[in-house]
Amino acid sequence: MSQTAGESVLDAEQLQALMLRAPYHRWLGIAVTAVSLDAIEVRATWREEWIANADTRHTHGGILASLIDLTADFVLATRLGRAVPTIDMRVDYHRMARPGDLLVRGSVVKAGRQISVSEARVLDLDGMLIASGRGTYLTSATQSG
């Protein structure tokens, strides 16, 4: 795909279709709500299976990490037209996520030919920061495997 400077390769509908090719992403209830060249926003529909502790009813950290990784990955897809493999990722948990849908905002930190860096922030619907993270992704066109 060719791209003009400052333009996304994928629009929200195309990005949504690419994301939902993965059964896990469909299970997470991902919906793309905004797309630009260097940023995306997705909404994840809460489900009972996310609960990590029956007493506190908070969302499992693995779900939050997954949302960070997939959003940081797919913000790069708006430039490349494809998902890319994760090389490394860091997640910081700021507060427990209570039952309810979550918003995840991803942005490109550095777009490189071989390796790129992007980050994501998970927010509850009141705008409170739940978790944040940064990932390094293999963006070379000749990636294998």
Domains of the chain (ranges; CATH) run 12-138 (3.10.129.10)
Q: What is the pLDDT along the chain (145 residues), one digit of tens a residue?
A: 334 445 678 899 999 999 999 999 999 999 999 998 899 999 999 999 999 999 999 999 999 999 999 999 999 999 898 999 999 999 999 999 999 999 999 999 999 999 999 999 999 999 999 999 999 999 998 654 4
Instruction: Characterize 21-40 residue by residue with b for buried, 16 or more Cβ atoms within 10 angstroms of its Cβ, and e for exposed.
Output: eeeebeebebebeebebbbb
pLDDT at 10: 86
pLDDT at 6: 56
pLDDT at 141: 81
Measure the CA–CA gap between 15 and 75, rounded to whole angstroms.
9
Compute the radius of gyration of the chain from its Cα atoms. Answer: 15
Instruction: Return the amino acid letter for 127.
Output: G
pLDDT at 41: 97
